């Protein structure tokens, strides 16, 4: 199964919407978690509509519209979104209202807008789009599940093009809850020094990353997504290694064929051990990169890695601020993404030059 990326849009903690910059103006902050850089929402969304939208819906619409405009498509044949936690701010607003009002006189708006498919629904409403529209909520596999559906739709000829997105947001309350099980770091840190931080937990983040996928390439295509796999709760690091080798074998590739490996280091010394093991054993001869010092960790963070890989392939350069083991080759043609969430949800994704 293959699909061509013909348009992308990313709202993230970095200046990723700009066509003029590709991570040459990286933002360094010292915070507990990373939040998206707010775009000029009024240039994308009618101000009368904008005021009723939560942050996650706003950033999703901006990212989706950017991807569609770049691909020259007004109305995709399908809209697929993946989100691990959905509209957390609206969920919190509704639950707090339940408590504050003793379960009486509740405004239903926050509840209606708190459902996980709100982002995909709002995009469709703005386009008057009645085509296939599905949201996947599978925690660490949310984006991968939406991508797999998209690849199958294209392979089976059900659609010519589709809009695919991975979205999650962070709030003070959701961050605080997640720190209780050591999922996220508790003290502020410089995101560009992520791998030197010794706190337990990863650096939390958020983002909305959208792609226009199609079965046919165009002159503006970024890259081709040619492989995807997922596996849950492997017994040990050796199993992870074998799964990745098996994935490459199915793609009829060897390790030497991979120009760059993007790994999901998130700053948690415990979970990062898996990446270190792979980097030192399986990928000992490969150039490596990482990305969560720019995006932060969240359930669909691999969608940011997909944006990064597509931009690297199209631009033919690997930005120095994402390189881990220095890249010395020419323009990368094959990029492998490997990411896991809490050592439960593991996924390799392969992108190739078109």
Rounded Cα distance between 127 and 162, Å, is 13
Lowest mean pLDDT among 94-98, 260-264, 268-272, 292-296: 94-98
Question: Do residues 13 and 294 touch, judged by C-beta distance below 8 A?
Answer: yes
- Spell out the residues 6+ positions from residue 189 whose beta carbon is closer than 8 angstroms to its own: 30, 31, 197, 199, 203, 267
Rounded Cα distance between 164 and 61, Å, is 12
Task: Provide the pLDDT for residue 106.
Answer: 77
- Spell out the residues 6+ positions from residue 230 whose beta carbon is closer than 8 angstroms to its own: 141, 144, 145, 148, 345, 346, 347
pLDDT in tens, 119-143: 999 999 999 999 999 999 999 999 9
Query: What mean pLDDT comes out for the span 80-98?
Result: 88
The position carrying tokens 């990446």 is 275
Query: What mean pLDDT comes out for the span 32-49?
Result: 92
pLDDT in tens, 201-247: 999 999 999 999 999 999 999 999 999 999 999 999 999 999 999 99
Domain segments of the chain as ranges:
3-214, 223-352
Per-residue pLDDT at 13 exceeds 80? yes
Task: Provide the pLDDT for residue 101.
Answer: 84
Of residues 155 and 87, more confidence is placed in 155
Task: Provide the pLDDT for residue 336.
Answer: 98
Task: Provide the pLDDT for residue 23.
Answer: 95
Residue 203, SS3? coil
Rounded Cα distance between 35 and 207, Å, is 8
Lowest mean pLDDT among 100-114, 261-275, 299-313: 100-114
Q: What's the pLDDT band for 99 if we cut at 50, 70, 90?
A: confident
Per-residue pLDDT at 113 exceeds 80? no
pTM of the model: 0.95
Query: What mean pLDDT comes out for the span 260-280?
Result: 96
Mean pLDDT, the chain, rounded, equals 94
Query: What mean pLDDT comes out for the span 27-32?
Result: 94
Per-residue pLDDT at 288 exceeds 80? yes
Q: How do beta strands 161-168 and 207-214 pair?
A: antiparallel
Per-residue pLDDT at 35 exceeds 90? yes
The reply to whether 3-214 and 223-352 are identical in fold is yes
Rounded Cα distance between 189 and 337, Å, is 25
Rounded Cα distance between 299 and 141, Å, is 8
Fold entry, domain 223-352? Peroxisomal Thiolase; Chain A, domain 1 (3.40.47)
For 3-214, the fitting CATH number among 3.40.50.720, 3.40.47.10, 3.90.45.10, 3.40.50.300 is 3.40.47.10
Query: What mean pLDDT comes out for the span 15-26?
Result: 92
């Amino acid at each position: 199964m293959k699909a061509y990326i013909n348009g992308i849009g990313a709202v993230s903690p970095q200046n990723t919407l700009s066509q003029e910059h590709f991570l040459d103006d990286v933002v360094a902050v010292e915070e507990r978690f990373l939040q998206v850089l707010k775009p000029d929402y009024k240039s994308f969304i009618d101000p009368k509509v904008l005021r009723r939208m939560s942050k996650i819906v706003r950033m999703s619409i901006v990212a989706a519209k950017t991807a569609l405009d770049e691909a020259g498509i007004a109305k995709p044949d399908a809209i697929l979104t993946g989100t691990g936690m959905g509209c957390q701010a609206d969920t919190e607003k509704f639950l707090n209202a339940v408590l504050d009002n003793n379960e009486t006189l509740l405004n239903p708006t926050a509840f209606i807008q708190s459902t996980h498919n709100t982002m995909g629904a709002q995009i469709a409403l703005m386009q008057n789009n009645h085509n296939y529209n599905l949201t996947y909520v599978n925690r660490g596999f949310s984006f991968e599940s939406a991508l797999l559906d998209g690849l199958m739709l294209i392979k089976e000829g059900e659609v010519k093009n589709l809009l695919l997105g991975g979205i999650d947001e962070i709030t003070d309350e959701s961050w605080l809850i997640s720190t209780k099980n050591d999922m996220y770091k508790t003290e502020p840190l410089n995101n560009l020094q992520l791998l030197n931080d010794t706190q337990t937990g990863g650096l939390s983040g958020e983002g909305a990353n959208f792609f226009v996928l199609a079965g046919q390439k165009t002159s503006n295509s970024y890259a081709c997504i040619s492989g995807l796999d997922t596996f849950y709760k492997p017994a040990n690091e050796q199993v992870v290694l074998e799964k990745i080798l098996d994935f490459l074998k199915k793609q009829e590739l060897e390790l030497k064929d991979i120009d760059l490996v993007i790994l999901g280091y998130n700053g948690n010394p415990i979970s990062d051990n898996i990446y270190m093991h792979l980097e030192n054993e399986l990928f000992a001869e490969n150039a490596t990169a990482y990305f969560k010092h720019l995006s932060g960790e969240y359930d669909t963070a691999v969608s940011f890695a997909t944006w990064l890989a597509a931009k690297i392939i199209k631009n033919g350069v690997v930005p120095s601020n994402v390189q881990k083991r220095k890249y010395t080759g020419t323009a990368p043609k094959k990029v492998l993404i490997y990411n896991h969430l809490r050592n439960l949800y593991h996924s390799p994704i392969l992108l190739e030059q078109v």
